[in-house]
Structure 1
Amino acid sequence: MRSTGIVRIAVRLIGAVAMGILAAALLVLVSLQGGTPQVERLSPPVPEDAEYARVFMLTMEHIGRQPDRAGTVTGTPEQFNGLFRILARSNDGLRLRTDLEDGAVRLRASVRVPGHDWVGWLNLTAVLPPSAATPEPTDLRIGALALPPGPTLRLIAWGLDQRFGPGTGAQALDMLSGLAVEGDAVTFGITMPAGSERLLSRNAISELYGRDMVSRARVVEEVTFLEQQVAAGRLQRSGSYADWLRVVIERAAEAGPDATADAVMAGFMALNYLCGSDHFVSVLLPPSGANDPPLPSARPGCGRADLRGRVDLRRHFTTAATIKLISSRNAAVTAGEAKELSDSIHSGFDFTDIAANNSGIRLAVLLDGATPADLRALAAGIASEDDLIIDLDGIPQIMGRSAFRMRFGELDSPEYLAVIDEIERRIDALPIHAHTVGTGREG
Structure 2
Amino acid sequence: MSDAQRRPGRLRAALRMGLKGIVWLTLALAAAALLALTLAVQQSPRWPEPTAVSAADVARARDFLHRNDPRRPAFGPFRTLIASEREANLMLDQLVRRVAPGGSAQLMLAGGSARLQASLPVPHSPVAAWLNIAATLHETPGLPAIADLRVGRLPVPAWLAERLLPALAARLNATPEGALALDMVRRVRLTPARVEVVYEWGDDGLQRLLGTLLPPAEQARLTAYAQALSGAMQAHVSAGGSTGLPLANLLPPLFTLASQRSVGGDAVAENRAALLTLALQAIGRRMSDLVPAIQAAPQPPHLTMTLAGREDFAQHFLISAALALEGGGPLADAIGVYKETVDLRQGSGFSFNDIAADRAGARLGLLARRDPQALQQRLARGARESDFMPDVADLPEFLGRKEFLATYGGLDAPPYRRMLADIDRRLDALPLLR
TM-score range for the pair, normalised by the shorter chain length: 0.5 to 0.7
Question: 2:150, 2:156 within 8 Å by CA — same for their partners in 1?
Answer: yes
Instruction: Give the secondary-structure state (helix, strand or coil) at the position aligned to 1:347.
Output: helix
Task: Provide the rounded CA distance (Å) in 2 between the counterparts of 1:106 and 1:213.
Answer: 38
Q: How far apart are 1:32 and its partner, in Å?
A: 1.8
One of 347, 369, 373 as aligned partner of 2:373: 369
1:390–1:269 distance in 2 versus 1, CA, 3 Å: same
Task: Provide the rounded CA distance (Å) in 1 between the counterparts of 2:257 and 2:141.
Answer: 52
1:111–1:26 distance in 2 versus 1, CA, 3 Å: farther
Task: Provide the rounded CA distance (Å) in 2 between the counterparts of 1:110 and 1:266.
Answer: 30
Question: 1:390, 1:426 within 8 Å by CA — same for their partners in 2?
Answer: yes
One of 93, 97, 109 as aligned partner of 2:102: 93
Instruction: Give the secondary-structure state (helix, strand or coil) at the position aligned to 1:123.
Output: strand
Give the residue type in structure 1 aligned to 2:392.
L
Task: Provide the rounded CA distance (Å) in 2 between the counterparts of 1:256 and 1:126.
Answer: 42
Question: 1:408, 1:415 within 8 Å by CA — same for their partners in 2?
Answer: yes
Q: How many equivalent residue pairs?
A: 380
Q: Superposed, which structure 2 residues align to 1:58-207 within 5 Å?
A: 62-63=69-70, 71-84=79-92, 93-116=102-125, 117=127, 119-129=129-139, 133-143=141-151, 144-148=155-159, 150-160=162-172, 164=174, 170-180=179-189, 184-191=193-200, 197=209, 201=213
Q: What's the Cα RMSD here?
A: 4.9
Q: Does 1:222 align with 2:232?
A: no
1:346–1:38 distance in 2 versus 1, CA, 3 Å: same
Give the residue type in structure 1 aligned to 2:48.
E
Question: 1:75, 1:186 within 8 Å by CA — same for their partners in 2?
Answer: yes
Question: 1:276, 1:318 within 8 Å by CA — same for their partners in 2?
Answer: no
Question: 1:176, 1:191 within 8 Å by CA — same for their partners in 2?
Answer: yes
1:405–1:428 distance in 2 versus 1, CA, 3 Å: closer
Question: 1:44, 1:89 within 8 Å by CA — same for their partners in 2?
Answer: no
1:199–1:224 distance in 2 versus 1, CA, 3 Å: same
Task: Provide the rounded CA distance (Å) in 1 between the counterparts of 2:78 and 2:35.
Answer: 40
Instruction: Give the secondary-structure state (helix, strand or coil) at the position aligned to 1:48.
Output: helix
Instruction: Give the secondary-structure state (helix, strand or coil) at the position aligned to 1:220.
Output: helix
- The unaligned stretches of length 5 or more in structure 2 are 1-30, 345-349
One of 39, 42, 57 as aligned partner of 2:47: 39
Length-normalised TM-score, structure 1: 0.64
Task: Provide the rounded CA distance (Å) in 2 between the counterparts of 1:371 and 1:120.
Answer: 29
Q: Does 1:335 align with 2:331?
A: yes
1:101–1:29 distance in 2 versus 1, CA, 3 Å: farther
**What do residues 180-201 of structure 1 show as CA deviations (whole Å, max 9, x unaligned)?**
4567243222447978646754
Give the residue type in structure 1 aligned to 2:279.
N
Instruction: Give the secondary-structure state (helix, strand or coil) at the position aligned to 2:373.
Output: coil
Q: How far apart are 1:254 and its partner, in Å?
A: 8.5
Instruction: Give the secondary-structure state (helix, strand or coil) at the position aligned to 1:124.
Output: strand
Aligned counterpart, 1:232: 238
Task: Provide the rounded CA distance (Å) in 2 between the counterparts of 1:94 and 1:320.
Answer: 22
Question: 2:278, 2:318 within 8 Å by CA — same for their partners in 1?
Answer: yes
1:256–1:189 distance in 2 versus 1, CA, 3 Å: closer
- Greater Rg by CA: 2
| Identical-residue share of aligned pairs (%) | 19
1:224–1:336 distance in 2 versus 1, CA, 3 Å: same
1:350–1:298 distance in 2 versus 1, CA, 3 Å: farther
Aligned counterpart, 1:9: none
Task: Provide the rounded CA distance (Å) in 2 between the counterparts of 1:178 and 1:271.
Answer: 39
